Amino acid sequence: MDKFIFTETDIDGVIIVQPHIFEDNRGYFYETYNKQNFEMGGITDVFVQDNESVSSKGVLRGLHYQEKHPQSKLVRVTEGKVFDVAVDIRFGSPTFGKWVGVVLSDENKKQLYIPKGLAHGFLVLSEKAKFNYKCGDFYYADDQRGIMYNDKDININWEDYCEGEFILSQKDTQNPTFKQYIENGR
């Protein structure tokens, strides 16, 4: 397990993964994923899909989840920097409604593991960011759901990381509140 450091967060199942970087005068090398090491670190998912997005500074994506086909995710940034957030939306969880956030960048090479049952979002802090993520289930467009990124009950401090107006998709400006999520039972 010397290839990775797995750090648990305040939300059960959310893990920060720090790879060991091998550097010399030629450059660097590191593993981004190793099934055996990840299983020893508590991440046992079978990932079925890899995705990549590119976004510009101020783009905020989220808070997203899938209802019938929940996805676990292993996320990382290969270019630029983002503030990445996971929100516990698992009914009955002791941390229901709580969030954790971590800065992911091409420099720190950290990854964030987000188990099934959590909502996910990120804010781009650099001029451009290339965001990569493995998913534990396939993407189903008709199953995509969201919670308002600036919900007052969840109270994520996005503004501490980026000044100015956020750039959102039309869909993300119309997500329900966390109270509506609770009232609907999803």
Q: Which residues are catalytic?
A: 64, 133
* Residue 121, helix vs strand vs coil: strand
Where does residue 2 rank: exposed (0-12), middle (13-18), buried (19+ CB within 10 A)? exposed
Q: What does the block give as tokens for 47?
A: 């990932």
Residue 150: how many other CB atoms lie within 10 Å: 16
* Residue 3, helix vs strand vs coil: coil
Q: Which helix (H) or strand (E) holds 56?
A: strand 49-56
Q: What does the block give as tokens for 141?
A: 């467009």
The residue to which tokens 């329900």 are assigned: 176
* Residue 137, helix vs strand vs coil: coil
Instruction: Identify the CA nearest to 83 among candidates 46, 120, 49, 119.
Output: 120
Instruction: Identify the CA nearest to 74 among candidates 46, 97, 101.
Output: 46
